[in-house]
């Protein structure tokens, strides 16, 4: 019998059932290959070992002939295959454990293959969102948070914008059909932030003027 690590979630990707006025607009997870390519840099690693294998093959071939060159190169090829296999395994595990959710009120990120945590990011705490799009349609949406709002780079990795360590930017990483997801996010945030919220001023008498502010 299979075991579901997230069977305790009342709604997949969310730590608790959302309120009745909150609607889920989109859910998705990283594409494993795109995550390995963009976050774990599997292609530069493969190229590095390919160059090493070529160099070692040439050197060994000059010293001992074709067979020696082939043997020398094959060792580095084998190491490169193992290294790339491990990187892809990490990407696959991260993609399987992760689930991104966009609702009409927030962005939720359930992440972590070893230690699973869920980050809730209301639109009122998001300053900007930036889309990085790949040729195959996958892409990443980085969320720049307002003010002093911050999250741990190490806990959130690889679901972060690279090298934004002091001011971490949570990122929906390597998602398929990223342009469409970015559109859904933009429309939801615009709609949410344009909704006026009526709050009574502190100390105001009943029937007095009220303040309007975007949530």
For residue 140, what are the β-bridge partners? 132
Count Cα neighbours of 196 within 13 Å in the Cβ-side half-sphere. 6
- Spatial strand order of the sheet with 99-103 comes to 24-28, 99-103, 106-111, 117-122
Please list the pLDDT of the chain residue by residue as tens digits (215 residues): 333 444 567 788 888 888 899 999 999 999 999 999 999 999 999 999 999 988 887 877 666 666 666 777 888 899 999 999 999 999 999 999 999 999 999 999 999 877 889 999 999 999 999 999 999 999 999 999 998 777 889 889 999 999 888 889 999 999 999 999 999 999 999 988 776 555 444 444 434 333 333 33
For position 166, what pLDDT does the model report?
84
Distance from C-alpha of 178 to C-alpha of 72, rounded to nearest angstrom: 43
Question: Which residues touch 53 (CB under 8 Å, ≥6 apart)?
Answer: 73, 74, 75, 76, 77, 80
Report DSSP letters for 104-160, one per residue: SSEEEEEE-SSS-EEEEEEGGGEEEEEEEE-TTS-EEEEEEEPTT----HHHHTTSB
* pLDDT at residue 159, rounded to an integer: 95
């Amino acid at each position: 019998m299979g075991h579901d690590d997230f069977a305790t979630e009342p709604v997949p990707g969310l730590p608790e059932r959302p309120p009745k006025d909150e609607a889920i607009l989109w859910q998705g997870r990283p594409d494993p290959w795109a995550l390995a390519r963009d976050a774990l840099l599997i292609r530069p690693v493969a190229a590095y070992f390919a160059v090493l294998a070529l160099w070692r093959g040439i050197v060994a071939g000059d010293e001992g002939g074709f067979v020696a060159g082939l043997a020398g190169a094959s060792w580095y090829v084998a190491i490169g295959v193992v290294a790339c296999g491990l990187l892809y395994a990490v990407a696959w595990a991260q993609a399987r454990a992760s689930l991104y959710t966009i609702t009409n009120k927030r962005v939720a990120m359930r992440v972590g293959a070893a230690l699973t945590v869920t980050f809730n990011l209301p639109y009122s705490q998001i300053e900007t969102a930036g889309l990085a799009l790949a040729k195959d349609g996958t892409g990443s949406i980085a969320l720049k948070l307002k003010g002093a709002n911050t999250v741990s780079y190490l806990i959130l990795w690889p679901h972060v914008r690279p090298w934004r360590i002091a001011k971490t930017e949570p990122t929906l990483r390597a998602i398929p059909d990223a342009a469409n997801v970015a559109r859904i996010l933009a429309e939801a945030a615009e709609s949410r932030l344009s909704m006026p919220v009526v709050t009574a001023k502190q100390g105001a008498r009943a029937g007095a003027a009220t303040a309007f502010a975007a949530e």
